[in-house]
Amino acid sequence: MTDETKTEAKPADTAERPSTIPPDEMARLTDEIVGALKTVSDIYELGLIYKVDIDDDRMVNIEMTLTTPNCPSAAELPQQVENAVAALPGVREAKVNIVWDPPWDPSRMSDEARTVLNMW
């Protein structure tokens, strides 16, 4: 028996379409979003950002997690992320969705964060 990846065909109206945002503009937006995320309390270096999507209307949807559901900054961090990204030129709106799957673990941290926290 061989392992095969099964994919389901999507209906034509929900199939993924190419972005109408020009590639150079998408690259600029992506770089600026990463820069904005890096300004918010180490969330990027800790690996708390799981996914960033930019739609054709320049709405940015961000999936992030926290190190634990009991994180003392749970109330502030998502709003700080939304504010930092929404303030960028060319971004219509930013929305953060907190997710718990997959759960965060220290392997998601950048080398810089590992060094600072002495977690090698």
* CATH class name, domain 22-113: alpha beta
pTM: 0.80
Task: Give, in order, the Cα–Cα distances in Å from 10 to each of 13, 17, 30, 84, 106.
Answer: 8, 11, 27, 34, 35
pLDDT for the residue 16: 61
Residue that wins the pLDDT comparison between 12 and 20: 20
Nearest to 21 by CA among 60, 62, 47, 72: 60
CB 52 within 8 A of CB 33: yes
Structure confidence by residue, pLDDT tens digits, 38-97: 999 889 999 999 999 999 999 999 999 999 989 898 889 999 999 999 999 999 999 999
Question: Domain extents for the chain?
Answer: 22-113
Nearest to 42 by CA among 73, 75, 87, 70: 73
Residue 36 pLDDT class (50, 70, 90 cuts): very high
Cβ neighbours of residue 68 closer than 8 Å, sequence gap 6 or more? 104
